[in-house]
Structure 1
Amino acid sequence: MIKGPPAGRTAGDNRPERVLILASFVNRVGNGLFNAAAMFYFTLVVGLPAAQVGAALTIAALIGLLSGIPGGRLADRRGPRTVMMLALAVQAVAMSALVYVESWAALTVIAAIDQLAAAAGGAAWGALVARVGTDRPALFRAKLRTYVNLGVILGTVGAGLAVTVNTRTAYLVLILGNAASFALCALLLLLLPAYAALAPPPQQRRWIALTDRPFLTFAALFGAMGLQYPVVSALLPLWISLHTDAPRWTVAAAFAINAGVCVLLQTRIGSRVETLRDGGRAFRLAGLLFLVSCPMMALAAHVPVWAAAGLVVAAILVHSLGEIWESSAGFALGFGLAPDHAQGQYQGLLGLGFGAGQALAPVILLTAVLGLGTAGWLLLGVFFALVGAAGPPLERWGARTRQALPAADADAERDGVPA
């Protein structure tokens, strides 16, 4: 439920909001440390073949999808802070155990445990964000994502230093640093109120999210639109290297521009997407921006070197703006369509849709799009535009099927106690 701000209040100026921003920042610094260098550690230090490492991480990610909805429902019934802290503790232990990995089987098991905890914790995190950011939800979530992006960037810089040193000790520092970030994040959450569960309406279905057709549709569309993330991280670097005359530094420039634009503009743009209607329009705009950026990336393969670099830079600027509008739409629709007493379950379903899209991304992007070349890029842009065009009608469908909370329930949510 979207609430207006009390007079004189802005996001980030109360203690719970500051605590959650800091905890999320710490956690994402650790993620950046590990994710950017994990493949190097397991292949160069542990000695596992790259194909085995990729298979282990893919299997673990698919297994992890199973815990999102149950973890979210547990957060709704036992309180999101408790479930998130438990998930972080499991991740801290699992991450520490990676320093003892010597086989593919051990890596698969430990990574699967980590991903199960991550999915459950992600759903609980969504429910916690909904409870903390009640004054200006759009502005708070935009600020939160800004600091999350900044944390990933800083962690990635640290990982780059370790990769440069390229010793076992350097990689172990990254792994244990990530484990420590989970533990510190959990400790910081102790500074948050112990938000009590919100009572569901009488005769409420246990798995309400799975019967909510508008939200199920949105989860699928959100997962489809989420393909835009590996466009930057996986598809574009290969396209630049294999099909364009652009210099290799263009790849690094694309990453830097994407990160910089998101950090600098997320709060300014995201704070404007507050209502369901705003979310539907933002989703459509994101699709149109991707429709512009994809042909620009394709055209880079057909122009001289100086023009290719310029096109890539321009395309990544447009794409980054689309990413901001897409994430803002995800916040507005993902939280706005979910009933307050079941935010965890709904965020778990949204995470399942997004995770499924990311799991399919290599096949869709690196096989189909890259294989088709320029035509693949054009089809990808049209695909994003069509997905985005569903935003406004989906928003209207969802708004028609929402039931407003009774006044007593709304007062209870605002006070952080059960109705």
Structure 2
Amino acid sequence: MISRGGAVRAGLRAWWARVSPEPGPQRALVASSFVNRLGTGMFVAVSALYFTLIVGIPARQVGTGLTIAGTAGLLGSVPAGMLADRVGPRMVQLVTLGVQTGTMAAFVFVHSWWMFTTVTALDKVADAANNAARGALIGRVGGERPALFRAKLRSFVSVAVVLGTPVAGIAIQIGTRAAYVTLILANAASYVVCALLLLRVPEYPPIPRPAGSRRFAALADRPYAAFAGLNGLLSLQAVVVALVIPLWITTRTQVPRTMAAVVFGMFFVVGVLLMQPVGRRTETVAQGGRALRTSGLAVAAGCAVLAVSAEGPRWAQAAVLLFGAAIICAASVWALAAGFSLSFGLSPAHAQGEYQGLNLLGLDAAAAVGPALLTALVLGFGGPGWFVLGAGFAAAGLLGPPVTRWAQRTRPDTADAGAVADAAPSLSARAARPSAAGSSAP
């Protein structure tokens, strides 16, 4: 008879085998990304306070600088993705990590608005380029199931961000320049560790471009651009959770402000719990289109709930708020899973970086203009604003299946999310053999 402890251990081993990445390049890339996002989680949580309270830049100027830097970042994704397709994604990612190490360390010496804006713009361009190359590398490392591997990766980096946030809270509590600087330099060091771990991932050679294929194909691919736009719009669910709901709590409800932190934490917890189960059911193009629809309609339902969260006693407001926020948090998982499956499934194998860059361009463009529009809509119109916002998400979601069917009809050789990988593994495997030492499990 198996003891209860033995059954628990067996269950844990089975669970870990299901959720963990495969040994070799996959685990190396997950470890690299985990360290990177751990540092990012620490920095993002303190950056606004550092530049306003420690450096002394007015909050409005910080916002302006971030807007300028975010706009500059839009220029980095597609060119970097194209470069990753030509010279290999790992090389581009290593270079961008080196640039980000320098920009992060340079924040310690920032003392004026123009210097803050310049360094932040360089950092945003490097970050966009890094993400495009990383997307192409995920496509190669993920093998025949890149979307599922990306879902696993997302689960682990979400945990990293959550772990980094309390460390940032300690620095905020101390409140000295030395505490903030220590955190910033720790993030700079995380880029170095990230690059060292990335060296354990093979340098996959570029996949030759088929005869007759055109350069800059992604920019001329209207169906894929339409998907990238929809993906960007639906990604604004994260802005609803991180920005709109906290502002709604403080201006329109009687709920304690600490509820904003609860909602933010719930966003990551729900992501960790649901990302892989949903990802396993959202790997083909058709499944991705349906997941976009599910996500948009779910957000609409969540917005309808939030629209009435300012009514009634405080306990009722809190309960309704948490219910509506939970729906949106869950909906964001379907949006992410759809984005993963479609960004890989609709991309030709030889141009993964270029297409991932275009997808990131849609995400970054939405992130640049979305916060101002969403907050103006909800805070300006109150409950009706939530209904209008929900209708917008529902419309975007309903466009998911027809847009993906349109895109699928125009693919010359891809029928589902696994088709992209079918062209790559043979080349990828040959590339990995000379680098066996580099592909060992960490």
For the superposition of Structure 1 and Structure 2, which TM-score range results when normalised by the shorter chain? over 0.9
**Which residue number in structure 2 is paired with residue 219 of structure 1?**
228
- Structure 1 residues 283, 45: CA separation in 2 closer, same or farther (over 3 Å shift)? same
2:201 is the counterpart of 1:187 = no
| Larger mean Cα displacement after TM superposition, 405-414 or 14-23 | 405-414
**Which residue number in structure 1 is paired with residue 146 of structure 2?**
137
> 1:12-411 residue pairs with structure 2 within 5 A?
12-404=21-413, 409=423
- Structure 1 residues 244, 416: CA separation in 2 closer, same or farther (over 3 Å shift)? farther
Q: Following TM superposition, by how much is the alpha carbon of 1:137 offset from its aligned partner in structure 2, in angstroms?
A: 2.5
Supply the distance in 2 between the matched residues of 1:230 and 1:176 (Cα, whole angstroms): 28
Counterpart of 2:426, as a letter, is A
Supply the distance in 2 between the matched residues of 1:398 and 1:204 (Cα, whole angstroms): 17
Supply the distance in 2 between the matched residues of 1:138 and 1:410 (Cα, whole angstroms): 14
Counterpart of 1:115, as a letter, is K
Supply the distance in 1 between the matched residues of 2:422 and 2:152 (Cα, whole angstroms): 30
Supply the distance in 2 between the matched residues of 1:326 and 1:278 (Cα, whole angstroms): 11
The SS at the match of 1:37 is helix
Structure 1: gaps (5+ residues): 1-7
Q: Following TM superposition, by how much is the alpha carbon of 1:160 offset from its aligned partner in structure 2, in angstroms?
A: 1.1
Supply the distance in 2 between the matched residues of 1:266 and 1:167 (Cα, whole angstroms): 38
- Structure 1 residues 275, 409: CA separation in 2 closer, same or farther (over 3 Å shift)? closer
Q: Following TM superposition, by how much is the alpha carbon of 1:292 offset from its aligned partner in structure 2, in angstroms?
A: 0.8
Q: Following TM superposition, by how much is the alpha carbon of 1:264 offset from its aligned partner in structure 2, in angstroms?
A: 1.5
Matched residues, percent identical?
Answer: 47
Counterpart of 2:429, as a letter, is D
- Structure 1 residues 417, 237: CA separation in 2 closer, same or farther (over 3 Å shift)? same
- Structure 1 residues 408, 66: CA separation in 2 closer, same or farther (over 3 Å shift)? closer
Residues 143 and 425 in structure 2, CA contact (< 8 A), matched pair in contact too: no
| Larger mean Cα displacement after TM superposition, 247-256 or 322-331 | 247-256
Supply the distance in 2 between the matched residues of 1:111 and 1:152 (Cα, whole angstroms): 20
Supply the distance in 2 between the matched residues of 1:222 and 1:283 (Cα, whole angstroms): 8
Residues 226 and 354 in structure 1, CA contact (< 8 A), matched pair in contact too: yes
Residues 276 and 399 in structure 1, CA contact (< 8 A), matched pair in contact too: yes
**Which residue number in structure 2 is paired with residue 412 of structure 1?**
426
Q: Following TM superposition, by how much is the alpha carbon of 1:261 offset from its aligned partner in structure 2, in angstroms?
A: 1.0
Q: Following TM superposition, by how much is the alpha carbon of 1:218 offset from its aligned partner in structure 2, in angstroms?
A: 0.6
Q: Following TM superposition, by how much is the alpha carbon of 1:416 offset from its aligned partner in structure 2, in angstroms?
A: 5.1
| Larger mean Cα displacement after TM superposition, 157-166 or 82-91 | 157-166
Counterpart of 2:84, as a letter, is A
> Can you list the C-alpha shifts for 1:99-151, whole angstroms capped at 9, x where unaligned?
00000111111111111111111100000000001143333111100011111
> Can you list the C-alpha shifts for 1:323-371, whole angstroms capped at 9, x where unaligned?
1000000001111101111010111111111111011112211212321
Residues 252 and 310 in structure 2, CA contact (< 8 A), matched pair in contact too: yes
The SS at the match of 2:321 is helix
Q: Following TM superposition, by how much is the alpha carbon of 1:248 offset from its aligned partner in structure 2, in angstroms?
A: 2.1
Counterpart of 2:194, as a letter, is C
Supply the distance in 1 between the matched residues of 2:146 and 2:258 (Cα, whole angstroms): 38
Counterpart of 1:211, as a letter, is A
Supply the distance in 1 between the matched residues of 2:364 and 2:154 (Cα, whole angstroms): 18
Residues 11 and 133 in structure 1, CA contact (< 8 A), matched pair in contact too: no
* Number of residue pairs the alignment of both structures matches: 411
Q: Following TM superposition, by how much is the alpha carbon of 1:243 offset from its aligned partner in structure 2, in angstroms?
A: 0.5
Residues 72 and 125 in structure 2, CA contact (< 8 A), matched pair in contact too: yes
> Can you list the C-alpha shifts for 1:147-182, whole angstroms capped at 9, x where unaligned?
111111111111111111111111001111111111
| Larger mean Cα displacement after TM superposition, 398-407 or 323-332 | 398-407
| Larger mean Cα displacement after TM superposition, 80-89 or 240-249 | 240-249
Counterpart of 2:320, as a letter, is L
Supply the distance in 2 between the matched residues of 1:116 and 1:393 (Cα, whole angstroms): 33
User: Runs of 4+ in structure 1 displaced over 4 angstroms?
Assistant: 8-11, 405-411
Counterpart of 1:323, as a letter, is S
**Which residue number in structure 1 is paired with residue 9 of structure 2?**
none
Counterpart of 2:345, as a letter, is G
Residues 131 and 416 in structure 1, CA contact (< 8 A), matched pair in contact too: no
Q: Following TM superposition, by how much is the alpha carbon of 1:183 offset from its aligned partner in structure 2, in angstroms?
A: 1.2
**Which residue number in structure 2 is paired with residue 4 of structure 1?**
none
Structure 2: gaps (5+ residues): 1-16, 433-442
Supply the distance in 1 between the matched residues of 2:140 and 2:61 (Cα, whole angstroms): 41
Supply the distance in 1 between the matched residues of 2:269 and 2:59 (Cα, whole angstroms): 31
Q: Following TM superposition, by how much is the alpha carbon of 1:11 offset from its aligned partner in structure 2, in angstroms?
A: 6.3
